[in-house]
């Protein structure tokens, strides 16, 4: 229950913080109808899926995401954290929207990338969550304020439109900065990522 609440908060923050960078936050999607033929997807179909303990996964599935994710406190990434353990899930929250979640959770904490797609445009954000909470003197949970600045983002999909049950193939590339403001303490990280994902589109994550 706590993780469900935390992820809901992450989704709320994802939608609410777009005004911090409204001019550069959205970019047009590129479409390449032969994307699914890329040799990367052939290799992914021969690799076992990354099993996410937070979401339901089919143990017979093959790899859904091959993405490299970098995080650093400096914009030149001289010291960085690198992650490649992710799976991909895609839902249709509204008729003209898609939500792509490339992430991993061990049941207590997780991180990843969220792509919000609306018509022919998209927006990239990153998220991290855990079951550790910060509370005030009265025991109320304090939620961090996130500010995201996108320097570069690119998304290529294999089709212009999708429905529940469709297969989706995508290629992403992004570079952004995110500042967390929590209890008058600000913490800034830079993020880079690139790679491929594929999924069967669902109505919801569960």
Provide the sign of the torsion angle of the four alpha carbons 121, 127, 68, 1, taken in this order: negative
Query: Of 96-110, 112-126, 147-161, where does mean pLDDT reach its minimum?
Result: 96-110
Calculate the CA 65 to chain-centre distance.
Answer: 11
Q: How far is CA 61 from CA 49, 94, 144, 152, 162, in A?
A: 6, 26, 35, 32, 21
Q: What is the pLDDT of residues 16-64, one digit of tens each?
A: 343 343 345 899 999 999 999 999 999 999 999 988 766 655 545 899 9
> Mean pLDDT for the chain?
82
Predicted structure pTM score: 0.82
Phi, psi (rounded to 5 degrees) for 3: -65, -35
Q: Would you give the distance in Å from CA 93 to the centre of its chain?
A: 15
> How does residue 126 score in pLDDT terms, banded at 50, 70 and 90?
very high
Residue 142 and residue 183 in contact, taking contact as beta carbons nearer than 8 Å: yes
């Amino acid at each position: 229950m706590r993780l469900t609440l935390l992820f809901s908060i992450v989704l709320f923050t994802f939608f609410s913080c777009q005004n911090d960078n409204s001019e550069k936050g959205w970019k047009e999607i590129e479409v390449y109808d032969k994307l699914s033929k890329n040799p990367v997807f052939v290799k992914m179909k021969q690799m076992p899926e990354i099993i996410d303990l937070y979401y339901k996964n089919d143990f017979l599935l093959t790899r859904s995401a091959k993405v490299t994710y970098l995080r650093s406190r400096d914009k030149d990434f001289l010291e960085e954290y690198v992650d490649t353990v992710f799976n991909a899930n895609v839902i249709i929250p509204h008729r003209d929207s898609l939500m792509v979640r490339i992430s991993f959770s061990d049941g207590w904490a997780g991180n990843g990338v969220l792509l919000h797609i609306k018509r022919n445009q998209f927006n990239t954000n990153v998220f991290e969550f855990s079951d550790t909470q910060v509370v005030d003197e009265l025991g109320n949970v304090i939620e961090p304020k996130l500010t995201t600045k996108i320097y570069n983002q690119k998304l290529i999909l294999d089709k212009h439109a999708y429905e529940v049950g469709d297969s989706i193939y995508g290629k992403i590339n992004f570079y952004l900065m995110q500042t967390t403001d929590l209890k008058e303490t600000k913490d800034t990280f830079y993020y880079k990522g690139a790679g491929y994902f594929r999924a069967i589109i669902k109505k919801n994550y569960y």
